[in-house]
Structure 1
Amino acid sequence: MLSITKEFHFSASHRLAHLAADHPCGRLHGHNYVLMVELSARESELTPAGFVRDYGDLDALKKWIDEFLDHRHLNDVMKDRNPSAENIARWVYENWRRDLPELTAVRVSETPKTWATYRPAP
């Protein structure tokens, strides 16, 4: 398998439910998120140019992130899910899997030292 990865950035607020009253993530707060998508293909599935997918094809994802995630309150955007990094990664994957069939994983970082990854089971 060959893979490509592209990184996107957005800033948003959230408040996580189901935490102890004194847990800092239970309060309204925000992050400067980093979101990475991984796309994979077998060598036989590469485009004639040798790409898994042209990076330019990911411009629509960038526009979607800017419109629906950037400077938003994620609790309002992801109404049916607690907006943890894990749930954000899965939600993005589920929203983009049809448009990007090569999508194999979505990673979300809330801080420079923490990452959550959603990769569907094989």
Structure 2
Amino acid sequence: MFRITKEFHFSASHQLKSLPDDHPCARLHGHNYVVEVELAAEMLDERGFVRDYHDLAVLKRYLDETFDHRHLNDVLGHGTITAEWLARHLFDWCRMNFPETAAVRVSETPKTWAEYRP
């Protein structure tokens, strides 16, 4: 299996409303998110690619226009936008646009990652 990954960045706020009021993540706060998309294929295309990295520019536009410097709870209309939930949302979006999507990882801090992989 051939695999490629590409990393993207955006900054946004969120609030985990399902947590107790005294939990720090229940308060409004923000992150510098890192999103890593993995694409996989058993065979390379006629150009020798899983997919041309240039094709992923549409994902960068989606992240910038939809999420960057926004409040994720408002954008996604959900009270609990965790890194896990965001990884699944982005996986679904990527799979619709790139059938080779194998996984999406989301980081909120340099030491934490959440991944969705079916």
TM over 0.5: yes
CA distance in 1, matches of 2:26, 2:49: 43
CA distance in 2, matches of 1:49, 1:95: 25
Please provide the CA RMSD for this pair: 1.0
How far off is 1:48 after superposition?
1.0
CA distance in 2, matches of 1:118, 1:102: 14
CA distance in 2, matches of 1:49, 1:12: 36
Deviant stretches of 4+, over 6 Å = none
Normalising to structure 1: TM-score of the pair?
0.93
Paired residue for 1:53, among 51, 55, 58? Answer: 51
Q: Please show how residues 1-122 of structure 1 align to structure 2 within 5 Å.
A: 1-43=1-43, 46-80=44-78, 82-120=80-118
Q: Is the CA contact (8 Å cut-off) linking 1:108 and 1:117 kept in structure 2?
A: yes
CA distance in 2, matches of 1:22, 1:82: 16
AA aligned to 1:109 is: S
Identity percentage of aligned residues = 62
Structure 2 residue runs of 5 or longer lacking an equivalent are: none
CA distance in 1, matches of 2:117, 2:77: 22
How far off is 1:81 after superposition?
5.8
Q: Secondary structure at the match of 1:98?
A: helix
